[in-house]
Amino acid sequence: MRRAPTPPAPVLVLGAVASVQTGAAVATRLFPDAGPAGTVLLRLGLSALLLLAVARPRLRGRSRADVGWLIGYGVALAAMNASFYEALSRIPLGVAVTIEFVGPLAVAVWGSRRPLDFLWVALAAAGVVLLTTGSDGRVDLLGVLLALTAGACWAAYILLAQRAGRVLPGASALAVGLAVGAVVVAPFGLVSAGTRLWHVDVLARGAAVAVLSSAIPYTLELFALRRMRAHVFGVLMSLEPAMAALSGLLFLDQHLHVREWVAVGCVMVASVGATRRAPDQDLPVEPGATPTEVLVP
């Protein structure tokens, strides 16, 4: 019996990016019923249950330091998602993702002495300035600050993912991180959503967010990373701001102006430049790596 052909690795990565941004759009639709905090709780909690059942991580025999890294990883994951969803409740999806993307970009160029990297930083900064200094007064400054906070938490998440990945294999570390994150946001989510959190339709949409934002993209990335070099993955992930803007347009009727599309383009080009590696310096990604780790050159 002939096996069905496996899609090319870039197609898998693009599918993961599209799934994440579709999940973000679905999450935005859930805010009126569960609030941003309740939506984060549903995403992290249901994703954790799914991954814990699949990965079955073992913490027995781990040192306190190892457990501490895993807890820190989970707290960063919770803070990243909570601040991002709060930003989404105030500013368009494409704008929020573009601003948030400054976080991994900063990690990518941190400590670099290459003059070209300063150009990428300046280009990304120009994109953020374009997004936050519009002349029509539509920019919600609190939403921008929350998106920047999400970006800072994303940077911390990437760095902590590297340490957590050394304690447990990628899927197991992520499962524990999601569980810790769910515990951290539980009080806020329960207060925000109240009894509405247990409505069948809210749980169903929360499950859709969990699958679209965590289960599907993580699985696709894991398969893709086994057959792809790190710099190619980083370049493809740089399409996230544009995919977020497209998802906001299609699912949320969020129209960006030319100025904002130019800003998205600036951040994307900066991300591609910062994550691009010369072929002789690039290495294939380890199969057990946490997907977000490869955003760091």
Is 288 a member of any domain?
Answer: yes
Residue 93 domain boundaries: 9-292
Question: In a structure prediction context, what are the per-residue pLDDT tens digits for the chain, which is 297 residues long?
Answer: 455 566 888 888 899 999 999 999 999 999 999 999 999 999 999 999 998 998 888 888 888 899 999 999 999 999 999 999 999 999 999 999 999 988 888 887 776 777 787 888 889 989 988 888 765 556 789 999 999 999 999 989 888 888 888 888 768 888 999 999 999 999 999 999 989 999 999 999 999 999 999 888 888 887 787 777 766 777 788 889 999 999 999 999 998 889 899 999 999 998 888 776 544 444 444 444 444 444 433
Distances (CA, A) of 202 to 31, 46, 90, 191, 213: 10, 12, 21, 15, 16
User: Tokens 């799914």 — which residue?
Assistant: 50
Question: Any residues with CB less than 8 A from the CB of 5 and at least 6 apart, and which?
Answer: none
* Burial annotation 160-192 (CB, 10 A radius, 16+ → b, else e): bbebbbebbbbbbbbbbbbbbbbbbbbebbeeb
Residue 290 is predicted with a pLDDT of 47
Residue 277 is predicted with a pLDDT of 54
Is 2 a member of any domain?
Answer: no
| Residue 30 main-chain phi, psi, to 5 deg | -85, -15
- Contact call for residues 231 and 282 (beta carbons, < 8 A): yes
Residue 146 is predicted with a pLDDT of 96
Residue 136 is predicted with a pLDDT of 58
Q: Which helix (H) or strand (E) holds 19?
A: helix 9-55
Question: Any residues with CB less than 8 A from the CB of 49 and at least 6 apart, and which?
Answer: none
Residue 169 is predicted with a pLDDT of 76
Distance CA 5, CA 134 (A): 48
Nearest to 237 by CA among 290, 275, 265: 275
Nearest to 94 by CA among 275, 239, 197: 239
Measured over all CA atoms, what is the biggest interatomic distance in the chain, rounded to whole angstroms?
62
Is 216 a member of any domain?
Answer: yes
Is 258 a member of any domain?
Answer: yes
At residue 103, what is the residue type? G
Nearest to 270 by CA among 80, 53, 117, 75: 117
Q: In DSSP terms, which residues pair with 229 in a beta bridge?
A: 284
Instruction: Look at the chain and report how many structural domains it folds into.
Output: 1
At residue 185, what is the residue type? V
DSSP 137: S
- Contact call for residues 20 and 212 (beta carbons, < 8 A): yes
Is 92 a member of any domain?
Answer: yes
Distance CA 131, CA 33 (A): 29
Q: Which helix (H) or strand (E) holds 216?
A: helix 216-225
Is 297 a member of any domain?
Answer: no
* Burial annotation 40-72 (CB, 10 A radius, 16+ → b, else e): bbbbbbbbbbbbbeebebeeeeeeeebeebbbb
